[in-house]
Structure 1
Amino acid sequence: MAVHYPDLLSTSILDLQTGIAAGHWTSVDLVNAYTARVAEANPALHAVIALNPDALSLAAACDAARAAAPAETRSPLFGIPLLIKDNISTQEMDCTAGSLALVGARTAHESTVASKLKEAGAIILGRANLSEWAYFRSWDNSSGFSGVGGQTYCAFHPQGDPSGSSSGSGSAMGAGLAAGTIGSETDGSIISPSTRNNCVGLKPTIGLVSRAGVVPISVSQDSAGPMCATVEDCAIILDAVAGPDDRDEATKRAPAARPSYLAAALDPGAIKRARIGRPKYGEKVPPAPYIQQAFDAAVDKIRAIGGVELVEVELAWTDALSEQLEKDEFQCLITEFKDGVNTYLAKLDEVPSGCRTLDDLIQFNIDHREQEMPERNAGQDMSVPPFARCRLPVYLEARERCLRHSTKEGLDKLFADYKLDAVITFSDRCLVSWLSAMAGYPLCSVPLGFLPDDVEPTKVLPLRRAPGFPFGLVMVGLPWSEAKLLSYAKAIEQVTQVRKTGKPFKAALPTTNLKDIVQSRTA
């Protein structure tokens, strides 16, 4: 029987494991294939900062373990190559947050996320580029720029803004440079680059996944999560990384018992028992007509599944409240950023640049302006005084308003009033997704469509809007409802099938595939 070799642009982790189990390919083959794809696409995308020099030996060890005990039950991630965002520390490679100030920095304790992935047998293939300091240096800087990795581009346009701070994770996943990627989000940085790069993203409830060893912005809002080709892949990664951790107090709030997220993702019929809200158009940012049309078409397909209840919902809101909460959220983030970064730097074993405080980093950028702050990426206004100073009472008042209006008077009320299981929305900047960031509630996105050919590109590079850009459908849930969201997302993924219809721009589409590697090895 002829072997079916999957296209690494859109294959799933389970399909890769099926081929390994059948003896059609190995983990070494996967590492070689993805390494070749990175070499081909990265000159155009700048999505990957570094590759793990130990990846091949780790893959060989996985293959040897399988040969020695073929019947042993292992995690679906065993021997699977993943990319991890460069603000999530690992022992074998520098964690720089994209800053030259952290090149060579060493930590005694890698991130819990990385440790749990390794425990599951995953191979950390390399580190993905990001917006430096997770896009918390200046709003005037472009998404995807870092002093270490340069400018990341969207996988679907040669001059495209990849969006969010997990820009390299999204761009790499859009071009199929790994079997899955890990990003992090404070407000939009998993979901936005996922929608921009035609992949599935999941931002977990704060406390479900440990932030220990992740370069911080906000102890209130930071979360790490998967960005993948399929809903099932996100579920597989979430199964591996979720759980309590003594190094992150927030994880103590999570329920002691966790469901199998993969089992949930494999039950798309769960949506037939769901009541899902869709917001009235005009919330926060009105959708463009083509996004509204794609969203409406998706809603029709969801309704056609049968059993699911779709209801139009509206949250009482005012422009004045939005303006107040935007100020409050920013106040919280800059306060927590300074405290968090100072604490993170102080705990590093070794920092060759000598930067041990936020003030040191600010001066480092000034001293290395050519590399760190060229052209339009010259700002660091969110880090410098007086923005990084805040009196405690001011911070506490701002945080209380953010929590109250996003939870008790926001999403909690919306879900209770309409008796909802989830809310789907047309873009990642809708009011309910913004509230979920401040509340620490989960979000999941699936591909929804692509901008039409007659869209006028923006003038500022990298382009924030241009023909061919992907966009996504975003789903909001209450705390710890990831299993629900994944099952609903799987059903939506099945009826829309958008991921399979998109192709990256030519220079970002690698030519090497798994078949090439296997056939060259067996020739």
Structure 2
Amino acid sequence: MPEFSVDRATIPALQRRMTRGRLTAVELTGIYLERIRTLDERLHSVLAVNRYARAQAAGSDRRRRDGRLRGPLDGIPVLLKDNIDTASMPTTAGSRAMLAAGPPPDATLVRRLRAAGAVLLGKANLSEWANFRSRASTSGWSALGGQTRNPHVLDRNPCGSSSGSAVAVAASLCQVAIGSETDGSIVCPSGITGIVGHKPTLGLVSRAGMIPVSAEQDTAGPMARTVLDAAITLSVLQGRDPADPATLAYPADQPTDYAALLRPDALRGARIGLWRLPALGPAVAKLVTATVKLLRECGATVVEVELPYQDRIGELEFPALETEFHRDLDAYLGTRPGGPGNLGGLIEYNRGDPLEQTCFADQEVFERSLAAPAPDDPGYLADRAELSDLARRSIDETLTGKRLDAIVAPTNPPAWLTNCATGDPDVCLSSTPAAVSGYPAVTVPAGFAGPLPIGITFMAGGFADARILAYAAEFERVSAARRPPRLRPTR
């Protein structure tokens, strides 16, 4: 394709090319499949390619010829994190224990992608069991997919459990990807690989058919190279689903076309709270200062803030997640005959499979979850109520007290060296308040520390997704911070 770069192309630009006869969905799918074939042996971001992808693309081309296109995602290749159920591809969470499990029906969000005409390109690698197996885990590693590598510097870590989704988007192995987050697993890998990642408000996107960590915090969301592409994808994913009670809170007046609400003056007149997080280091601090300058140039008022209650939230979160993981994973595994029937069976499988121990052998998070208080335990219920309340208040009180429209914070530190022997370092992330409260967050590239990307996160109150996407799109426009990765072997 002369003068054609998938790295720079947005979904609307691709649709224009296809409408003008300069590109077909089959050709676009072929470009991405070839990039996976030639590049992913160095990245380990894709677990499986969908053998029906080209046929789905051919169906899109037929619809285009017949004037029956289903919308802006028709013919667009999308990669799915491998904790999202698909009938036509294995769903394993990266675990060898799930290879024998029976195929599940499509998740609700997969059905919506199919109905929109998207090409399901394949399944992305992830931190096995969404990084909820060992406290000394290494992000991006799974027994099935190996170690996902940061495409900017290959010996650096991709962060978070949606690591394969982020790396594939950053390296242009797909147009968009779907990730999931319990706390940081969309925004951290997106920030650390230099792409856009949106964690929607809990209840905006159905989780039915997604391998869980916690029904109180899990959500799926889009990951893309531009805010525009993320907004287009969110418009397809969102909506009520009787199979997911959380979506019953979806407001009647919630927008359904998020891309239409992006505008170039979105930040003019906005009041933005700045949560600096100096613990992320001097390189991040320098970029935060540059971000403040850009926000003010866009007409925003920037107010320094500190989000309250963070220490107590940190004390309460992980014990609550252990109870919820046991409860929710047992319910999910019961729907997948042939695999381990519950968390106890999964623990026993891992003890007997040496390939499940090639990066780290421990599974103490599994074991602690198995022994965690029951979901009807009064202590657990009180702690979860306090945890969710404090997380919501940390954002709501800051927004109200300072008369703010949104809060910004650095998304991530520079990527660290991947090391199976030590696991990930403890890093101070800004994801927790939005993750625990169920409020939306979107990260957008802000710049680099040497060759390593740093993101900036916009967050606000529940169902304010359209507002923070518009702010992120305007920041993206003026900062122009994203650069394609160069696959350097080391820094």
TM-score by length of 1: 0.87
Q: Deviations over 1:46-81 (max 9, x none)?
A: 000000000011111110111122xx4531100100
Is the counterpart of residue 131 in structure 1 residue 114 in structure 2? Answer: no
CA distance in 2, matches of 1:288, 1:327: 23
- Partner residue of 2:421? none
Tell me the secondary structure at the aligned position of residue 314 of structure 1: coil
- Partner residue of 1:215? 211
Q: Deviations over 1:351-398 (max 9, x none)?
A: 2xx411101100111110x211114x2111101157642141121121
CA distance in 1, matches of 2:371, 2:260: 44
Q: Deviations over 1:78-117 (max 9, x none)?
A: 0100100000011100100000111142345321111111
- Partner residue of 1:6? 4
- Could you say what the CA RMSD is over the residues aligned between the two structures, in angstroms? 1.8
Is the counterpart of residue 46 in structure 1 residue 38 in structure 2? Answer: no
The answer as to whether partners of 2:170 and 2:484 remain within 8 angstroms in 1 is: no
Out of 471, 485, 491, the residue aligned to residue 503 of structure 1 is 485
Tell me the secondary structure at the aligned position of residue 366 of structure 2: coil
CA distance in 1, matches of 2:18, 2:6: 14
Q: 1:62 to 1:427 in 2, by over 3 A?
A: closer
- Partner residue of 1:491? 474
Tell me the secondary structure at the aligned position of residue 89 of structure 1: coil
Out of 338, 345, 366, the residue aligned to residue 383 of structure 1 is 366
- Partner residue of 1:426? 410
AA aligned opposite 2:158: P
- Partner residue of 1:262? 259
Q: Deviations over 1:214-243 (max 9, x none)?
A: 000001000100110000000011000000
Out of 241, 245, 248, the residue aligned to residue 245 of structure 1 is 241
CA distance in 2, matches of 1:340, 1:193: 24
CA distance in 2, matches of 1:385, 1:309: 46
The answer as to whether partners of 1:59 and 1:123 remain within 8 angstroms in 2 is: yes
- Partner residue of 2:420? none
Q: Deviations over 1:465-486 (max 9, x none)?
A: xxx2211011111100010011
The answer as to whether partners of 1:153 and 1:159 remain within 8 angstroms in 2 is: yes
- Partner residue of 1:340? 328
- The percent of aligned pairs where both chains have the same amino acid is 38
Q: CA deviation at 1:315?
A: 3.4
CA distance in 2, matches of 1:238, 1:27: 21
CA distance in 2, matches of 1:478, 1:203: 13
- Partner residue of 1:403? 388
Tell me the secondary structure at the aligned position of residue 390 of structure 2: helix
Tell me the secondary structure at the aligned position of residue 168 of structure 1: helix
The answer as to whether partners of 2:86 and 2:104 remain within 8 angstroms in 1 is: no
- Partner residue of 1:416? 400
Q: Deviations over 1:446-500 (max 9, x none)?
A: 0112222xxxxxxxxxxxxxxx22110111111000100111001000011111x
Structure-to-structure mapping, 1:132-151, within 5 angstroms: 132-151=128-147
Q: CA deviation at 1:5?
A: 3.4
Out of 78, 89, 95, the residue aligned to residue 85 of structure 2 is 89
The answer as to whether partners of 1:174 and 1:504 remain within 8 angstroms in 2 is: no
CA distance in 1, matches of 2:88, 2:65: 26
The answer as to whether partners of 2:187 and 2:411 remain within 8 angstroms in 1 is: no
CA distance in 2, matches of 1:25, 1:190: 31
CA distance in 2, matches of 1:37, 1:507: 18
CA distance in 1, matches of 2:126, 2:206: 20
Q: 1:103 to 1:184 in 2, by over 3 A?
A: same
- Partner residue of 2:355? 371
- Partner residue of 1:28? 26
Is the counterpart of residue 438 in structure 1 residue 427 in structure 2? Answer: no
- Partner residue of 2:317? 329
Q: 1:502 to 1:62 in 2, by over 3 A?
A: closer
CA distance in 2, matches of 1:332, 1:147: 27
CA distance in 1, matches of 2:430, 2:395: 7
CA distance in 1, matches of 2:389, 2:237: 29
CA distance in 2, matches of 1:8, 1:507: 23
Structure-to-structure mapping, 1:455-466, within 5 angstroms: none
Tell me the secondary structure at the aligned position of residue 265 of structure 2: helix
- Partner residue of 1:455? none
Q: CA deviation at 1:506?
A: 5.0
TM-score by length of 2: 0.93
Tell me whether 139-148 or 205-214 shows the greater mean CA deviation.
139-148
- Partner residue of 1:233? 229
Q: CA deviation at 1:121?
A: 0.6
Q: CA deviation at 1:316?
A: 4.1
The answer as to whether partners of 1:164 and 1:188 remain within 8 angstroms in 2 is: yes
The answer as to whether partners of 1:50 and 1:127 remain within 8 angstroms in 2 is: yes
CA distance in 2, matches of 1:507, 1:62: 38
User: Please, which runs of 5 or more residues in structure 1 have no aligned partner?
Assistant: 453-467, 509-523
Is the counterpart of residue 121 in structure 1 residue 117 in structure 2? Answer: yes
CA distance in 1, matches of 2:431, 2:488: 33
Aligned residues: 473
AA aligned opposite 2:382: E
Tell me the secondary structure at the aligned position of residue 447 of structure 2: strand
- Partner residue of 1:311? 303
AA aligned opposite 2:65: A
CA distance in 1, matches of 2:245, 2:33: 37
CA distance in 1, matches of 2:432, 2:157: 20
Q: Deviations over 1:380-433 (max 9, x none)?
A: 11011576421411211210121121113x111111101111101123476763
- Partner residue of 2:63? 65
Is the counterpart of residue 298 in structure 1 residue 291 in structure 2? Answer: yes
Q: CA deviation at 1:257?
A: 2.7
AA aligned opposite 1:173: V
Is the counterpart of residue 286 in structure 1 residue 286 in structure 2? Answer: no
AA aligned opposite 1:146: S
CA distance in 1, matches of 2:249, 2:7: 37
CA distance in 1, matches of 2:440, 2:223: 14
